[in-house]
Structure 1
């Protein structure tokens, strides 16, 4: 499980003991004997109705798939903005098809940096209409939705892991907090067990409560490692690109399943 994904647990409601009502007799449709409606005919009717609903759903999915594929028909498998980012930034992009998380990695003077973000944040973003209402007559930015990102930094010659939780929006990183884990494996492990263990540890103060001078130096420290405005602009753009690809693939998978 990712370090940036919370384990949402809903409390289980207690069910009070209630008397069970008497079970009603099963419903049986009454057909006159003269109609000669057999169980075989009923099964045939149900099968026909199922095939009809399958066909209608498959067609709707096909229409949506055609529309979405048309929207990205001119897009390349490796868009220009991605090629430029890889070439100029020194970051590697690890993107597994079907996963909603993307991992960026980079080496910097004996340090290993791993930054993770999820495209799930796109679905929780405000719609353009909602943003227009809040901003009045101000122009709406092309990519304005916030995306959470988690950075883990480890060193070859030092124990522990420095983890920084941020939100990137409109080309800027907003730092939430900085955590230090003496056990570097605990700070970088993506298992559910490690995520649970981290929850019981002190995560550091809220970043905006730190001395202004400390905040400024932390931001410079990150920028020197490529966690800067370029990165903060790239993440929402790539998230939007990946989300569209995943949605198209999802439509295709569901359509094929319904048609099978």
Structure 2
């Protein structure tokens, strides 16, 4: 989910948890003056009448549940669309596209984004996914309830996004494959592999992935000589794998995730209403 929605959900869950804790403390039979023995002596008829009747009253016909769920989905769709329409096309996205350096490729319903560019006789592809937004919860959302701050003062959370970068050259059979983490305006390199067969290094298929498993992938980046590490960073920065792109990627991931979230809400609502 987007950082704003994640922050909103986290705040709501903290408040709900706090309310449940208060209720559980007040409802505890031991804190109310009953010992465990006394509780066990409560007449079974009393328990079955009070709790059984209440549980029965909470049950509802299936169609009522459908209608209620549909209404809640509609409310969420309206809320999210109001945010989207108010923002329009973000200036940062327009500016990025106007530069004409990278081409963005993605499909509706897909969680993957591909950035493509040409650099001299090289073709550079950078791939990432919006799934990392949900699978990597931000550390600054993990604060305890006791340290809650007002919503307007809370920081927008950040999270790591994995990127897969490949560099190929026209007239060359090989390919470089680079794994890096993008977070807080920086790329942290993890591994740089070389494939003698460019097709094997760039093909996105189960068969190609299986074949890659048996190959030597090179050492961990941090195990390379420091001077070699620095030159690799310069090499990538010269090709646009820089701070500016590292700031763009999480922004676009959230933008794409917002679009897919609204599409998901509409699809689920359509199914419930059918």
* TM-score between both structures, scaled by the size of structure 1: 0.75
Is 1:145 matched with 2:156?
Answer: no
The aligned counterpart of 2:93 is 82
Give 1:131 shift.
Answer: 6.0
Stretches of structure 2 that go unaligned for 5 or more consecutive residues are 1-59
243, 265, 272: which is aligned to 1:229? 243
73, 76, 80: which is aligned to 1:64? 76
**Counterpart-to-counterpart distance in 2, 1:104 and 1:227:** 11
Is 1:54 matched with 2:66?
Answer: yes
CA contact (8 A) 2:141 2:157 kept: no
223, 232, 236: which is aligned to 1:209? 223
Which stretches of structure 1, 4 residues or more, deviate above 6 A after TM superposition? none
The aligned counterpart of 1:123 is 134
Give 1:158 shift.
Answer: 1.1
Q: Provide the aligned length of Structure 1 versus Structure 2.
A: 210
* TM-score between both structures, scaled by the size of structure 2: 0.71
Give 1:88 shift.
Answer: 2.6
Residues 205 and 132 of structure 1: CA distance in aligned 2, closer, same or farther (over 3 Å):
farther
Stretches of structure 1 that go unaligned for 5 or more consecutive residues are 1-47
The aligned counterpart of 1:91 is 102
CA RMSD of aligned residues (A): 2.3
Question: Which structure has more helix as a fraction of its residues?
Answer: 2
Give 1:192 shift.
Answer: 1.3
**Counterpart-to-counterpart distance in 1, 2:103 and 2:144:** 35
240, 244, 247: which is aligned to 2:261? 247
Give 1:143 shift.
Answer: 5.3
Is 1:195 matched with 2:206?
Answer: no
Residues 141 and 163 of structure 1: CA distance in aligned 2, closer, same or farther (over 3 Å):
farther
